[in-house]
């Protein structure tokens, strides 16, 4: 899978830079074309001559050399992936802020390809709140973080912070290239977040959904080569700019946005927590507190998933969620049938760590063909990956 791929290897200043030569050798052996970009600091840990000999390409580390300018934009466009290994604490922090003070940073900031990083640092540095926050931030930009490993560190201590071994990085890259084109050419619609149903111009009826699960699903599809559109209720989650985002507020707006794009879609995942009821007559002016009681009349919203199930074409795959508190599986299977979906993803509010607001979720997936996938509690990004895998299995099975 690595064979024929163009890989940009970024090296920053860490003692683990000596392992970059091994990584480079493994990549070349696997048939990749590799170009190396170094930070000036990293050249103190490993010589550019070693790396240029192994890569059979000139190693770049200056923004300009001999009065000529290194074209950082073209490098980021040339590569299928940029992997920064090792990623030092300093370069991590620059990536978060967007500091452009060396060639590696210029390439990173202008890269249009996926960027993966393999951090390397001492345990105390790794566990510092600022480092952990920076890693989270980097992840939110859509960058891939290869986990650090536990073992002997440069300080003489033993703990977390070692760069992933070159063999592990190669395995990760293999897997990345294998999945990166799984949904190439496919158009995906994901709904996410809550809806807000206006009571008057200042108040609404909503729910606790943050949109995390739907946004994670959208990102996972995008990373597997899909053309993704998200219809999002009010949510502060961020997305890579390549994902089209249609912002809506109410269930009615979400229905209309979905209907507008539905015909073009191959796969539709309805993960939004759509309000089941909306206010029949929202007040035009702010409701004053003159009365001691207030009655608001609600009416049912359109069930978007069910409406799409009714008009779904043969080639389209429709997945919905079932958030349950009792008789979970039974209710979920009933929703699968009733709403004419192909796949239903069930989560139960009885599972600790699952549901609204958490960064984790515990899901079970049932499909029309009778497949059943049960999962443990996982991060929402990992759960998203399980959901996308199940959809891939269903679509290609
Ligand atoms: N859904 C929808 N439109 C609605 C309500 C729900 O498209 N007006 C979708 C959700 O996005 C989800 C699925 O239907 O994919 C199931 O949502 P859930 O809240 O679990 O169930 P409901 O159908 O609302 O039924 P109930 O609240 O009675 O369990």
Q: Looking at ligand 1, which atom is closest to the CA of residue 304? A: 7
Is 363 in contact with 349 (CB distance < 8 Å)?
A: no
Domain check: are 173 and 191 in the same one? no
Note the pLDDT of residue 206: 97
Mark which of 148, 179, 210 sits at the end of a domain: 179
Domain check: are 175 and 195 in the same one? no
Note the pLDDT of residue 218: 97
CATH of residue 98: 3.40.50.1950
Domain check: are 191 and 159 in the same one? no
Note the pLDDT of residue 69: 64
- Give me ligand 1 centre to Cα 183, in Å: 26
Domain check: are 26 and 160 in the same one? yes
CATH of residue 282: 3.40.50.10300
Instruction: Count Cβ atoms within 10 A of the Cβ of residue 11 and give its class: 0-12 exposed, 13-18 middle, 19 or more buried.
Output: buried
d(CA 1, CA 192): 33
Q: Which domain holds residue 132?
A: 6-179
d(CA 197, CA 278): 6
Q: Is 160 helix (H, G, I), strand (E, B) or coil?
A: strand
- Which protein residue's CA is at the shortest distance from atom 8 of ligand 1? 303
What are the residues whose beta carbons fall under 8 Å from the beta carbon of 129, sequence distance 6 or more? none
Over the chain (397 residues), the average pLDDT of each successive run of 10 is 95 96 97 96 95 93 68 84 97 97 94 94 95 94 92 85 97 93 96 98 96 95 95 93 94 98 98 97 95 95 98 97 93 97 93 80 95 93 95 93
Domain check: are 262 and 388 in the same one? yes
Domain check: are 213 and 356 in the same one? yes
Q: Tokens 């219809």 — which residue?
A: 231
Q: Looking at ligand 1, which atom is closest to the CA of residue 300? A: 8
Supply the pTM of this predicted model: 0.82
d(CA 227, CA 223): 10
Domain count, the chain: 2
Mark which of 158, 179, 200 sits at the end of a domain: 179
Note the pLDDT of residue 75: 85
The response to whether residue 272 sits with its C-beta less than 6 Å from ligand 1 reads yes
Domain check: are 150 and 210 in the same one? no
Domain check: are 289 and 347 in the same one? yes
Mark which of 150, 179, 208 sits at the end of a domain: 179
On whether residue 1 sits in a domain, the answer given is no
Write out the two tokens for 148: 């650090």
């Amino acid at each position: 899978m690595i064979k024929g791929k163009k890989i940009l290897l970024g090296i920053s200043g860490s003692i683990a830079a000596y392992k970059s030569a091994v990584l480079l050798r493994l990549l070349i052996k696997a048939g990749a074309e590799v170009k190396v970009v170094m930070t000036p600091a990293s050249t103190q840990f490993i010589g550019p001559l070693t790396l240029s000999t192994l890569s059979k390409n000139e190693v770049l580390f200056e923004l300009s050399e001999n009065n000529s300018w290194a074209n950082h934009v073209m490098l980021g466009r040339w590569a299928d992936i940029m992997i920064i290994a090792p990623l030092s604490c300093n370069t991590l922090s620059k990536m978060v802020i967007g500091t452009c003070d060396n060639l590696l940073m210029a390439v990173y900031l202008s890269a249009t390809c996926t960027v993966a990083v393999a951090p390397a640092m001492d345990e105390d540095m790794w566990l510092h709140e600022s480092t952990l926050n920076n890693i989270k931030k980097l992840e939110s930009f859509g960058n891939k973080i290869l986990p650090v490993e536990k073992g002997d560190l440069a300080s003489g201590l033993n703990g977390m912070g070692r760069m992933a071994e070159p063999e592990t990085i190669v395995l990760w890259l293999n897997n990345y290239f294998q999945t990166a084109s799984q949904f190439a050419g496919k158009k995906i619609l994901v709904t996410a977040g809550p809806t807000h149903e206006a009571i008057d111009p200042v108040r609404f009826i909503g729910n606790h959904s943050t949109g995390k699960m739907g946004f994670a699903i959208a990102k996972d599809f995008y990373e597997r080569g899909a053309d993704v559109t998200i219809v999002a209720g009010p949510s502060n989650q961020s997305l890579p700019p390549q994902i089209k985002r249609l912002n809506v507020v109410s269930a009615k707006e979400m229905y209309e946005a979905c209907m507008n794009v539905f015909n073009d879609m191959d796969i539709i995942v309805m993960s939004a927590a759509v309000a089941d009821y909306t206010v029949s007559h929202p007040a035009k002016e702010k409701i004053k507190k003159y009365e001691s009681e207030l009655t608001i009349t609600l009416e049912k919203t359109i069930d978007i998933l069910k409406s799409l199930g009714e008009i779904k074409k043969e080639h389209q795959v429709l997945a919905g969620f079932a958030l349950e508190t009792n008789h979970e599986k039974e209710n979920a299977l009933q929703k699968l049938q009733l709403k004419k979906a192909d796949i239903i993803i069930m989560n139960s509010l009885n599972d600790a760590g699952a549901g609204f607001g958490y960064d984790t979720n515990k899901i079970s997936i049932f499909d029309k063909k009778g497949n059943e996938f049960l999962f443990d509690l996982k991060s929402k990004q990992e759960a998203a990956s399980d959901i996308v895998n199940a959809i891939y299995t269903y679509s290609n099975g």
